Amino acid sequence: MNTEQKKPAGKGIKWLKEILLLLGMIALSAGIAFILIHFQQYFNVELRNFGWVIYLAVFLANLLSSATILIPAPGVAFTIAAATVFDPAFVAIAAGTGDAIGEMTAYWVGYVGERIIVDEHVPAYRKAVSWMDRYGAWAVFGIALVPILPYDLIGIAAGALKIKWWKCWLATLAGKMPRAFLVAYMGHQIPFLLHPFGL
């Protein structure tokens, strides 16, 4: 009885964490976007003249965010915010490339044989290994494109199975880039959505 009652409670806490994380990401994106837009207006500075600095910052933010193992970090929020002011295509390219490079941390952790999978992720990790056995680099591409499992698990599995690093990275990049473009162009629409409200 007790274990049956604990499972729904555990699922509820997990969903609550994910909802709070999503709300936090939205709030952070909106906050950074608001600062960028109003900084430009208040100081009468053309931020687009400093585009290369922002693209580098987007690249680094996504690289560092993806380099964390099984810990969410706000690279997406920075991408959305940057795209409100700067060219969304360049923002997406910087974000997708940084994201794909950062995700290789998981691959190398698996490659050198580090065991860091906590109990709650063991079933998902076994599934990731099974998919890697069956589909190879296509599994990496699929999870990078549609993250139905945490990417770190498929990356660790790819490293543990000694798939070639460049195949893993190209599959990751191919999956991450469409997502980066979607996120950047969504961010690019924020000023148009806020304009009717006088923001």
Write the pLDDT tens digit of every residue in 59-105. Answer: 999 998 888 765 556 788 889 888 888 899 999 999 999 999 999 99
Cα(148)–Cα(4) distance, integer angstroms: 25
Which of 179, 172, 174, 181 is closest to 151 using CA atoms?
A: 172
Could you tell me which of 92, 24, 33 has the C-alpha nearest to residue 58?
92
Calculate the CA 65 to chain-centre distance.
7
Query: What's the mean pLDDT in 19-40?
Result: 67
Q: What is the pTM of this model?
A: 0.76
CA gap 54, 35 in Å, rounded: 14
Are the C-beta atoms of 97 and 181 separated by less than 8 Å? no
Angle between helices 165-188 and 88-111 (to 10 degrees): 150
> What does the pLDDT look like over 9-22, one tens digit per residue?
555 665 676 676 66
pLDDT at 57 over 60: yes
Q: Collect all residues with Cβ–Cβ distance below 8 Å to 19 and sequence separation of at least 6.
A: none
Token digits for 182?
Answer: 């979607």
Is 109 a residue whose pLDDT tops 60?
yes
Q: Which of 67, 68, 100, 70 is nearest to 168 (CA)?
A: 100
CA distance 107 to 86: 32
Q: Phi/psi at 72 (nearest 5 deg)?
A: -70, 140
What CA–CA distance (Å, rounded) separates 149 from 20? 19
pLDDT-derived band of residue 115, with 50, 70 and 90 as boundaries? low
CA angle 131, 136, 137 (to 5 degrees): 115
Section 110-132 average pLDDT: 76
Residue 119 has pLDDT above 60, yes or no: no
Mean of pLDDT over the chain? 79
pLDDT at 142 over 80: yes
Q: Which of 48-52, 55-59, 104-108 has the least mean pLDDT? A: 48-52
Show Cβ contacts of residue 60 under 8 Å, excluding neighbours closer than 6 positions. Answer: 98
User: Which band of pLDDT confidence, cut at 50, 70 and 90, is reported for residue 177?
Assistant: very high
